[in-house]
Structure 1
Amino acid sequence: MIETRAARYEDLAAVHSITQRAYAAWLPVLGYPAQPMTDDHGPRIKRGEVLLACHGQHVLGLIAVEPSDDHHLIFSVAVDPDSAGKGIGPRLIAEAERQAFLAGKRRMTLYTNALMVRNIELYLKLGYRETGRRPNTARPGFTIVDMEKMLDDI
């Protein structure tokens, strides 16, 4: 049985490893490491922003969510490649949406690279809509896709 729980500091190595392995598939597409690969997840874990999907003690995937005043932002979703295709990413996203809704938020947002077409397709399938595209100021020549989902009575 897969359960979700908040990440603890002792999960930091697993969070880092899964993030590196999950996003490694995008290195040939992007030509550079995606932002979550270079992020220090320690402070996010300390703030309670990282949720894990676990089977027993084994971490299968994670979602990092940044709360703000009127919405929550999905910063990263990463699933261990050995567990990919089993619905873990959508399960983590649904749980993050549920927690945001219970916290009084009515909107989830995210942004991704326009070249990450599979991810965009997944978000669309999960009810997100594209709200705009903008240049990536950190990576000239690349485009960021902004997306959102309204959280209606989850």
Structure 2
Amino acid sequence: MPGHKYLFRRATAEDADVIRELVHAAYAKWVNLIRREPLPTRTDYDQAVVAHQIDLLYDDDHLVALIEMIPAVDHLLIENVAVRPSVQGAGYGRLLMRHADLLAQSMALRGVCLYTNAKFTENIRFYRRLGFRVDREEPFLDGSLVHMSKAV
């Protein structure tokens, strides 16, 4: 993506509406597969933007993606990764995940963790390509969650 100007910016309370819009757009493709709204679409972003670190990714002044993270004692939990549907597959997910790795390293954390719906197989393949391993699966609602992690 040569010639692009990328900017990560920490979200503030004023960003809650645009976060909600981006998350709903990014997760819409999964609704038919799991027959319900994915959890990130039900999050209270007015509260999450204060309690978690949500970083917005801009490309040439256009909001294209976001990553929501929660620092823990020894790892950084990636709570949500959302990329605008019109630019999915353009490398923004990799930029977001690299951003999380660098943040975890800067906080002297040993690793990065995440979880995803077991039916989101393309996401699981993507995370595996980035070095994540499956730690465990657990039943959740009408399916299961896949917990994944990697050292940084």
TM-score range, shorter chain: over 0.9
Matches within 5 A, 1:48-127: 49-127=53-131
One-letter identity of the residue aligned with 1:114: A
1:105 is matched by which residue type in structure 2?
L
- TM-score normalised by the chain length of structure 1: 0.91
Deviation at 1:12, TM superposition (A): 1.6
Q: Identify the range of structure 1 (11-20 vs 42-51) with the bigger mean alpha-carbon deviation.
A: 42-51
Match of 1:143 in 2: 144
- Match for 1:150: what amino acid? A
Runs of 4+ in 1 over 3 A off after TM superposition: none
Q: State the superposition RMSD in angstroms.
A: 1.2
Letter in 2 for 1:142: G
The alpha-carbon distance between structure 1 residues 29 and 45, as it changes in their structure 2 partners (threshold 3 A), is same
* Letter aligned with residue 36 of structure 1: P
Cα pair 2:138 2:146 within 8 Å, conserved: yes
1:26 maps to what in 2?
A: 30
Give the superposition deviation at 1:103.
0.5
Structure 1 unaligned segments of length 5 or more: list them: none
Q: Secondary structure at the match of 1:85?
A: coil
TM-score between both structures, scaled by the size of structure 2:
0.92
The alignment covers a number of residue pairs equal to 148
Q: Structure 2: which 5+ residue stretches go unaligned?
A: none
Q: Deviations over 1:24-66 (max 9, x none)?
A: 0000101011110000122222245101110244211000011
Match of residue 45 from structure 1:
49
Distance in 2 (alpha carbons) for counterparts of 1:106 and 1:45? 24
Q: Percent identity?
A: 30
